[in-house]
Amino acid sequence: MPDGPNRARAAAARGGSPASRRRGPVRTTGPRRRARGCGTGALTALGALGLSVGAVVLALNVFTGGGASGTCVATLDDGTRAALDADQADNAALMAAIAVRRELPARGVTVAVATALQESKLRNIDYGDRDSVGLFQQRPSQGWGTVEQIMDPVYSTNAFYDVLVTVQGWESKAVTEAAQDVQRSAFPDAYAQHEGRGRAFASALTGYSPAALTCHLDDVPAESGSAVGAGSGTTASPTAPQRLAAVQDRLARDFGEVDTEVAPGGVLLVDGASLPAGLDPAPARRGWAVAQWAVATASATDARVVATDGMAWVRADGDDAAWVPLADAGLPATVAETAAEAGPGAVVIG
């Protein structure tokens, strides 16, 4: 539960600098659209887009399989292994996407995730100590915004970053010290225990650790109108166009402006190179950021497969889901072809 920011910080938390503020609603101009805005439910249009090296392919085909643990795991090359529940990973993915959008270093995501794990267990809760609410347990009475604003995870994450970037030397401070400079908690050392998990997910979700994040999710029910599940008392999943719209909506909310295209076969192509370059402009790194974001948000978007740089994650594999070579993933031909032709950094998610 943070005490209030100082007056300058409170102003930043409410609005931030022009570069950090959320964009307005999407505008549609012709068949192609750039996904804009966040928190508005905006959907990107379907249109033609030439793929770059950092293109991301979001293929939304139906895969089936058994139940799974509903957890996401990030494993780094140094042996660090961290786990989150799927809903927690979804929130971590948002924090990473906003950091990418703002061109913040991955360490900012580490601080944000560690802070939210301590404050709310990385869940957007509507209760807390006194009037604290949301991911970071920000308090309306202390200048963080209204309850409605704070309960918007995009607003609250931007508010956190708005204050973090005003802390002199925050990038070189211990994670718990940087978090405390923002939160002003009665327990200033409590954030340290979450640094490992924060760092693992931050590194994966910003693309600096490729093929590091996997999620073990339950299957998505049969598509609406299909023979499987129809009239049998089971829940039908959204149609392919609805799933495409859900992914596009999340892309616009989380990353802001990003180029997309819907290709034949129900495949959504997202150009990772259209994201801000940040500290590492390599298109492949930005592609991996979008790819692992798509895995981490799959529980919300119903995406079923993700592939990038010759690797794939398949939801149907359940607790065995991991990044495997494209040739071993058993993807539908159209998905495999699109992923193979997209070039290095391309990601297939379905």
Q: Are residues 275 and 341 in the same domain?
A: yes
Q: Are residues 195 and 232 in the same domain?
A: no
In a domain, 24, yes or no: no
Q: Are residues 226 and 341 in the same domain?
A: yes
In a domain, 77, yes or no: no
Q: Are residues 222 and 200 in the same domain?
A: no
Q: How far apart are CA 129 and CA 133, in angstroms?
A: 8
Strands 258-263 and 34-35: antiparallel
Amino acid identity of residue 111, one-letter, is V
List beta partners, residue 308: 311, 347
Q: Are residues 89 and 197 in the same domain?
A: yes
Q: How far apart are CA 106 and CA 325, in angstroms?
A: 27
Residue finishing a domain among 157, 181, 205: 205
Domain that holds residue 62: 34-69+211-349
Q: What is the pLDDT along the chain (350 residues), one digit of tens a residue?
A: 666 554 334 344 333 333 333 323 222 223 333 444 433 333 333 333 444 444 554 544 434 344 578 999 999 999 999 999 999 999 999 999 999 999 999 999 999 999 999 999 999 999 999 999 999 999 999 999 999 999 999 999 999 999 999 999 999 999 999 999 999 998 889 999 999 999 999 999 999 999 999 999 998 876 654 433 333 445 566 787 888 888 989 999 999 988 888 876 677 888 888 889 888 889 999 999 999 999 999 999 999 888 888 888 999 899 999 999 989 999 888 888 888 888 776 777 77
Q: Are residues 182 and 137 in the same domain?
A: yes
In a domain, 27, yes or no: no
Which tokens sit at 153?
């995870």
Q: Are residues 11 and 88 in the same domain?
A: yes
In a domain, 263, yes or no: yes
Tell me how far CA of residue 228 lies from CA of 64, 92, 350, in angstroms: 11, 34, 19
Residue finishing a domain among 182, 205, 228: 205
In a domain, 75, yes or no: no
Give the pLDDT confidence score for residue 341 in this predicted structure.
Answer: 87
In a domain, 242, yes or no: yes
Cβ distance 206 to 96 under 8 Å? yes
319-350 burial: b if 16+ Cβ within 10 Å, else e = eebebbebeebebbeebbebbbebbebbbbbb
Give the pLDDT confidence score for residue 263 in this predicted structure.
Answer: 75
List beta partners, residue 260: 270
Q: Are residues 46 and 134 in the same domain?
A: no
Counting the structural domains of the chain, the total is 2
Q: Are residues 174 and 226 in the same domain?
A: no
Give the pLDDT confidence score for residue 151 in this predicted structure.
Answer: 98
Tell me how far CA of residue 277 lies from CA of 72, 104, 166, 171, 281, in angstroms: 26, 10, 22, 19, 4
Cβ distance 56 to 346 under 8 Å? yes
Tell me how far CA of residue 151 lies from CA of 40, 44, 133, 188, 277, in angstroms: 14, 24, 7, 24, 29
In a domain, 25, yes or no: no
Q: Are residues 11 and 157 in the same domain?
A: yes
Please, which residues have CB within 8 angstroms of residue 318's CB and are 6 or more apart in sequence? Answer: 65, 66, 67, 68, 216, 217, 218, 219
In a domain, 300, yes or no: yes
Give the pLDDT confidence score for residue 205 in this predicted structure.
Answer: 98
Strands 324-325 and 55-59: unpaired
Amino acid identity of residue 100, one-letter, is V
Q: Are residues 292 and 253 in the same domain?
A: yes
Q: Are residues 158 and 11 in the same domain?
A: yes
Residue finishing a domain among 178, 205, 232: 205
Angle between helices 106-120 and 195-205 (to 10 degrees): 130
